[in-house]
């Protein structure tokens, strides 16, 4: 159904542009490499309409002939879709980097203290801090994020800066009575964000499974992000449609359960290294068929908001994993995890934005590998993404 809808949108855009033969409606972008949905295209091209929607991809020669009447822009380097940061915490702002090896408990304590410090800031200073982080995320090439929040403070900045995706509004009380109050307070916070920005979905989510009442968990886990999947499985709530995060120390049995449930899994490798000194077991996850996405987690452990650097960390640690698979985790994998059908790939009908990476005069036969080895390439937006559809 999604594929047919995308095909219909691409066909309609192509028909409208072709009938009018209006060069202002279509531009052909060419480059030595285009990271298309079907794989990298050498001397490739992507045709996009004036709304940023992909009409076609192919060789530069092919698309120039097909759209001989359209505008064209010949670029060096690599063209690619915008990245999707599937697990971020934008409201923490440009927090100071915490010491490594704190562990989960001490890290949470440190983050709570940082939030208390932020709460004491005047509203303008707090907003400026959050907006700087949102802008940093956009500059890192992120078209969309899965933002985890307990205040919704980053939502207005996301709207102003054109950063789309989903906000996961955390609820974290263990007793049934306090959890009910927390849910009511979350509803009030949601109602105060007026107007709610286009292109940003809202979801309730548990903070940690072990710190949220079971009565609330059963409601939340149907439409939320979750950690500690073994506990989720014990509750009988792990199923397709959930979203799991981290899994630093998952056993093989749990990994098999996640793969069998076809549940998207967001890995945050730099956060894992920072907090525990260990990376998630990527080869085992892939062997069990897990759907992998990437996230940066807290700015306290990954201040640059770059999922490309998350992929680079995994590439350095697991060179046996194809670079293209890790690039996909940072793009289409994140879109898949967050249910953003129009994001993540240069596929006809989608509007994921168009990013350019400067090769700096170098040449390569492996653009995905080059991006991961470069670690922090010079990225620039050619076209910003359009708001995802059905993002209420």
Q: What's the token pair of residue 219?
A: 């409601």
Q: Which residue has the higher pLDDT, 214 or 292?
A: 292
Rounded to whole angstroms, what are the CA distances from 171 to 111, 189, 274, 334, 382? 16, 12, 25, 23, 38
Q: What percent of the chain has pLDDT over 70?
A: 80
Query: Mean pLDDT over residues 147-155, rounded?
Result: 94
Using the predicted structure, report yes or no on whether residue 240 has a pLDDT greater than 60: no
Per residue in 51-91, pLDDT (tens digit) is: 999 999 999 999 999 999 999 999 999 999 999 999 999 98
Using the predicted structure, report yes or no on whether residue 234 has a pLDDT greater than 60: no
- State how far the Cα of 206 lies from the Cα of 242, in Å rounded to an integer: 12
* Domains of the chain with bracketed CATH: 2-82+344-383 (2.30.40.10), 83-338 (3.20.20.140)
pLDDT the model gives residue 329: 98
Q: Which residue, among 161, 151, 220, has the nearest Cα to 192 in the 3D structure? A: 151
Rounded to whole angstroms, what are the CA distances from 275 to 105, 106, 300, 306, 370? 10, 9, 10, 18, 28
Confidence of residue 171 (pLDDT cuts 50, 70, 90): confident
Confidence of residue 308 (pLDDT cuts 50, 70, 90): very high
Per residue in 254-275, pLDDT (tens digit) is: 888 887 888 899 999 998 888 8
Non-local (6+) Cβ contacts of 227 within 8 A are 208, 209, 244, 245, 246
Tell me the pTM. Answer: 0.86
Q: Which residue, among 256, 278, 257, has the nearest Cα to 269 in the 3D structure? A: 278
Using the predicted structure, report yes or no on whether residue 157 has a pLDDT greater than 80: yes
Per residue in 1-50, pLDDT (tens digit) is: 667 777 777 777 667 666 557 778 899 999 999 999 999 999 999 999 99
Burial 128-140 (b: 16+ CB within 10 A, else e): ebbbebbebbbeb
Place of tokens 């209006």: 22
Mean pLDDT, the chain, whole residue set? 84
Could you tell me which residues are beta bridge partners of residue 80?
Answer: 355
Instruction: Name the DSSP letter for residue 245.
Output: E
Using the predicted structure, report yes or no on whether residue 103 has a pLDDT greater than 90: no
Of the given ranges (69-78, 170-179, 300-309), which has the lowest mean pLDDT?
A: 170-179
pLDDT the model gives residue 97: 62
Query: Mean pLDDT over residues 143-155, rounded?
Result: 95
Rounded to whole angstroms, what are the CA distances from 197 to 86, 150, 156? 19, 18, 7
3-class state of residue 145 by DSSP: strand
Q: Which residue has the higher pLDDT, 213 or 194?
A: 194
Confidence of residue 179 (pLDDT cuts 50, 70, 90): confident
Using the predicted structure, report yes or no on whether residue 212 has a pLDDT greater than 60: no
Confidence of residue 236 (pLDDT cuts 50, 70, 90): very low
Rounded to whole angstroms, what are the CA distances from 257 to 238, 251, 260, 266? 9, 10, 5, 15
């Amino acid at each position: 159904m999604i594929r047919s809808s995308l095909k219909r949108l691409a066909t309609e855009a192509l028909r409208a542009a072709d009938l009018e033969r209006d060069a202002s409606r279509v531009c052909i972008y060419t480059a030595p490499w285009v990271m298309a949905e079907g794989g990298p295209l050498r001397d490739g091209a992507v045709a996009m309409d004036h709304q940023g929607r992909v009409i076609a991809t192919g060789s530069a020669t092919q698309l120039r002939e097909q759209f001989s009447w359209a505008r064209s822009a010949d670029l060096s380097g690599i063209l690619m879709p915008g990245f999707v940061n599937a697990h971020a915490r934008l409201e923490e702002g440009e927090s100071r980097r915490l010491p490594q090896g704190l562990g989960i408990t001490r890290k949470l304590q440190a983050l709570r203290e940082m939030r208390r410090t932020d709460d004491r800031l005047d509203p303008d200073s707090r907003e400026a801090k959050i907006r700087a982080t949102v802008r940093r995320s956009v500059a890192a090439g992120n078209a969309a994020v899965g933002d985890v929040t307990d205040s919704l403070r980053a939502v207005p900045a996301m709207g102003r800066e054109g950063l789309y995706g989903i906000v996961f509004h955390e609820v974290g009380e263990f007793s049934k009575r306090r959890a009910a109050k927390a849910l009511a307070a979350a509803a009030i916070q949601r109602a105060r964000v007026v107007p709610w920005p286009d292109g940003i979905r809202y979801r309730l989510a548990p903070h940690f499974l072990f710190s949220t009442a079971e009565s609330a968990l059963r409601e939340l886990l149907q439409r939320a992000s979750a950690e500690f999947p073994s506990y989720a499985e014990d509750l009988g709530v792990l199923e397709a449609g959930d979203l799991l995060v981290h899994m630093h120390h998952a056993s093989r049995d749990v990994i098999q359960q996640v793969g069998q449930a076809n549940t998207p899994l967001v890995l945050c490798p730099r956060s894992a290294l920072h907090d525990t000194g260990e990376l998630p077991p990527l080869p085992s996850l892939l062997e069990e068929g897990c759907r992998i996405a990437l996230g940066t987690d807290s700015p306290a452990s990954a201040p640059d908001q770059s999922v490309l650097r998350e992929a680079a960390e995994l590439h350095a640690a697991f060179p046996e994993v194809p670079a293209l698979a890790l690039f996909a985790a940072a793009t289409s994998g994140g879109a898949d995890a967050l249910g953003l059908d129009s994001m993540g790939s240069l596929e006809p009908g989608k509007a994921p934005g168009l990013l350019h990476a400067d090769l700096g005069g170098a040449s390569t036969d492996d653009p995905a590998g080059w991006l991961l080895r470069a670690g922090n390439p010079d990225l620039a937006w050619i076209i910003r993404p359009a708001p995802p559809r059905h993002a209420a």
